[in-house]
Amino acid sequence: MNVIKTDRAPAAIGPYSQAIDLGNMVFTSGVIPVIPETGAIVEGGVEEQAKRALTNLKNLVEDSGSSMDRVVKTTVFIKNMDDFSKINEIYATYFTSTLPARSCVEVARLPKDVLLEIEAIAVK
């Protein structure tokens, strides 16, 4: 088991790892729409936050030795289920060949009061 750490995704804001490499599998922690270089939440609405969170996830998955077309499962946590279709439009631009299995859950609150968080499991 190896701990993955990259500057191209937000640093952990608690006692956890950005991702874990376990043989041929990568398990990411939840990724939020934070700009890695500044630690600031991306400005704008749910579309901008979805793009940043998915870019952060892509960077983390790639720096873990995998790729977005090898992601087998995601979980998307969203603040408002009314944003589901907007998030889906952005999500579809990041997963274009093999679509992973996915769960989407509306939650009461997310870290730093962001609008969404996403985690993934990928094969290396």
**Following CA atoms 29, 61, 58, 33 in sequence, which dihedral angle do they give, to the nearest 10 degrees?**
20
Choice among 20, 25, 35, 104 that is catalytic: 104
Whether 95 is a known active-site residue: answer: no
**Would you please indicate which residues are annotated as catalytic (active-site) residues?**
104
